[in-house]
A and B are shown apart, each in its own frame.
Chain A
Amino acid sequence: MTDAVIEARGVSKSFGTTRALEGVDLVVERGTVLGLLGPNGAGKTTLVRILTTLLAPDAGTARVAGHDVVREAPRVRAAIGLAGQFAAVDDLLTGRENLELVGLLYHLPKAERKRRAGEVLERLGLTDAGDRLARTYSGGMRRRLDLGASLVGRPSVLILDEPTTGLDPATRVDLWGFIEDLVASGMTLLLTTQYLEEADRLANRIVVIDHGRTIAEGTASELKDQLGGDLLEVTVADPAALDRAVELVAGLAHGSPTVDRVKRLVSAPATGKAAAVVAAASRFQAEGIDLEEISLRRPSLDDVFLALTGHGAEDVAAGSGERTASAGGAPARRARRAS
């Protein structure tokens, strides 16, 4: 038996005819960070709601901090902290009042909840704003306060549902710093995200789910290795040469190329490191096709994600963060409402 702090076995959940989760298994070991990655509607939030006792599964079992999420829900609640994507803080309370209310609901004595509220404010850099109403906070401050609220009970397990969705890049990096501090202090963390960069930076292991099923699992580098080597990318100067470029790349690579016609970019997995670039460059030169750019790079989690889910693989090419962002937004709300 491993030291699993979160353990889900065959968890299934349907809403009417929509099957949100179909037999998901998941293990988070003590002191590690698991990134649960998936597009909107994949079932991430449903799984989080089951693990935090907000929702009962139709089938399967889940244990958190050693307790069954259905039969021993109160014990699970006492052990976990939850922070969600919608920053569940009360606008009309001050930051400090928000935290003290959570402390009261953890049944902490008055002096203790004051102390912990002060501690959490300090830790999240909100001490100066602590006595202002939360509605005066910026988006990033609200997320920090929300994260802080999940820390008041000193949970051993922290579950963060898309903690940085909707934040600007700089604020996101700030929040990552705070989350990294928590992890460094020994907390076990389950983090859902649709930002691959976030999973790459914070998570020890990654589980990719789509349509309610686990489709891949491993460390970021294991997942990247699944693509088979590096990515050869070629950008042609003349759009007319694109089809020929695809044929050439197909001959050089060991996987089928993907094409972005707008960017005139062809990419495919390739082995052979720098030699592959040299070989490709000389083939294109021999054919008289002008190249704007040629490169070989390690696949990003974005590439893995695209390869695994197939979402947007034909209309978006590798390398840009745009596609994860464009997959976000409104559907997340619908997914949540449906759950």
Chain B
Amino acid sequence: MSAVGSLEHAVGAPGGQLPDAAESRGRFRLALADIGGVTRRNLLRTIRTPRLLVFSSIQPVMFVLLFRYVFAGAIHAPNGSYVDYLMPGIFVQTALFGGASTAVGLAADLQGGIIDRFRSLPMARSAVLAGRTVADLLRNIFVLVLMVVVGMLVGFRFHGGLGHDLASLGIVLLFGYAFSWLFATIGLLVRDPETAQIAGFLPLFPLVFASSAFVPVETMPGWLQAFANVQPVSVTVNAVRALASGAPAEHWVWQSLVWIAGFLVVFAVLAVRQYRRV
């Protein structure tokens, strides 16, 4: 590349790795490095805004306390223990609500111009979105562990055996990750953090509350049951609940994985398409 001569000249120091040479080392490895860099950047941002992390962790804790001690008496859990019924719903809700920060973060990056900088660099096109969703997944792990601890403190117990218990948490994280691509799409569409915050929560309310997360679907009116029985949050909560309680879970796990795969494919495509366009 002739340009190299002049840039060497310009800075007056020996050059490093040229992008051309680097390309031959395998685009995949480079893309992983890009994703790693962007992920690290997003995690540093999270760690350096501890107040945000604290307050976004308090919200799900409030939900636990609210449902465990205020509503529990009025809700009749199918198998007796309402706290065991409740916590899988809380886990899924926490993972989804946490995902809304993907929308906010991306919209803020767009507005701040840092996405323009990223897009003008010879980095992998997928890395900004992947780095964002992976960072949010890692943050979700932290919040989920916190919620498990809080759940234990208010009486929740796993009954599925170690393998099933871990699998139940794995499904929660996968589900949250798949949804973060929906939030990425929303963030890139609305392009403004405040709007993204509100727009991100819109699809969550019907999905989380008209589901089996907090109350048995059988208590809802018939027309709502038709929706609540099949929608992804119910299916996933049922899968997590079955795994964590040691009940037969294959039926729900299978359906949940189909939803997860569907969300990933559809919204990863939409998000990447929107990213190319911004």
Q: Residues of A at under 8 Å CB distance from B?
A: 30-31, 49, 52-54, 65-66, 74-75, 77-80, 82, 84, 86-90, 92-93, 97, 101-102, 104-109, 112-113, 116, 119, 133, 149, 151, 153-157, 182, 185-188
B9 near A107: Cβ-Cβ < 8 Å = no
- Bound-state Cα–Cα, A105 to B36, Å: 10
A156 near B6: Cβ-Cβ < 8 Å = yes
A101 near B16: Cβ-Cβ < 8 Å = no
A88 near B112: Cβ-Cβ < 8 Å = yes
- Bound-state Cα–Cα, A82 to B116, Å: 9
> Which residue in chain B gives the minimum CB-CB distance to A49?
B116
B17, CB-defined interface residue at 8 Å: yes
B123 near A105: Cβ-Cβ < 8 Å = yes
Hey, which chain A residues are within 8 Å of B3, CB to CB?
Answer: 65-66, 79, 155-157
Are A54 and B116 CB-contacts (below 8 A) given A104-B33, A133-B48, A153-B121?
A: yes
Known: A97-B41, A105-B118, A154-B11. 11 other contacts (CB 8 A): A54-B119, A74-B122, A77-B120, A105-B37, A107-B22, A108-B16, A108-B17, A112-B17, A133-B48, A185-B12, A187-B10
Within 8 A of A (CB), among B1-25: 1-4, 6-13, 15-20, 22
A149 near B117: Cβ-Cβ < 8 Å = yes
Hey, which chain A residues are within 8 Å of B112, CB to CB?
Answer: 86, 88
- Bound-state Cα–Cα, A66 to B6, Å: 13
Main secondary structure on A side of the interface with B: loop
Are A186 and B6 CB-contacts (below 8 A) given A90-B45, A104-B33?
A: yes
Hey, which chain B residues are within 8 Å of A151, CB to CB?
Answer: 11
Are A53 and B41 CB-contacts (below 8 A) given A112-B17, A156-B7?
A: no
A84 near B117: Cβ-Cβ < 8 Å = yes
**What are 28 A-B contacts defined by CB distance under 8 Å?**
A49-B116, A66-B2, A66-B3, A74-B19, A75-B20, A78-B20, A79-B1, A79-B3, A82-B117, A87-B113, A88-B113, A88-B116, A93-B45, A101-B41, A102-B121, A105-B118, A107-B30, A112-B16, A116-B16, A119-B11, A119-B13, A153-B19, A153-B121, A154-B8, A154-B15, A156-B7, A157-B3, A185-B10
Contact pick for A97, options B22, B44, B113, B127, CB 8 Å: B44
A162: min CB distance to chain B, Å: 12
User: Which of B19, B48, B122 neighbours the largest number of chain A CB atoms within 10 Å of its CB?
Assistant: B122
